[in-house]
Structure 1
């Protein structure tokens, strides 16, 4: 691990960890498709609190849908997001390990769902289903967990970095001005 690399993490390691998230996501989705078909039939794991339910989501997280062009719009937005995450990674200072961890989560998760949009016109494979009775969280997958966790962590990290910048700016002494007699 090079200390001069962004977040102390070499680009190959950053991409390797993001790729590991993609691989884990794709494996769990293939397992869900194989084991949970037909779609939309819940399989209780921990009662109705946690179920496995195969769902094809043509939109984005939490059922966000933008009409018949959703698939293509979200594919373009994913490319923009991944490029942005890469640029944020490359701009990260060597001591920004938590920022880099957040970025590899978002990058890996975004790319995992991107693959689904490329290979399936039905949408992204979701299968993790939590809730009680009619009160259910939208069905999600491992990529969604990575994106959400990474986005929350990134928001916290960037907020803390801004707080540190403000504190550092306040700590800089002002130049002395001669007082008039």
Structure 2
């Protein structure tokens, strides 16, 4: 059983931003870290400017505050900048000329072929399956995310593929009559 699709820029942007800001263990740091650092930079500039008697210390405090503010802004907007860089190269990275991405279940492993490269993941290395409105994410124990879109598949059936994968991941039911 397999599914094949051509990745698009819209899928990339959606998955990248969604996983950056809402996936993983550092979500709070990623969402709130940049604005907090920007606030700290502003505090450095405002609080030290009036309380510092020497002009060169004021200048130093303002420069330090601006640097801290800039780092917070870069931390906040960094993912958007990365998406913008991919947007500039979208014709090279996405489109009908690109080879298909294929996910295929073979026994107890998941084979992935993308851009002429192949990988194989044992099904028991998949940590969770997350259903979204327009796609499904497979998260592995090594913090990799595999994406399966619902729309735009070149071959295969999304719902049947995911149901088969969930059946493989489900723990085996104990046989009737077996004693604990």
Give the alignment's TM-score, normalised by structure 1: 0.29
Of structures 1 and 2, the one scoring higher in RCO (CA 8 A, sep 6+) is 1
TM-score, scaled to structure 2: 0.29
Q: If each structure's strand is expressed as a fraction of its own residues, which one has the higher value? A: 2
Which structure carries more helix by proportion?
1
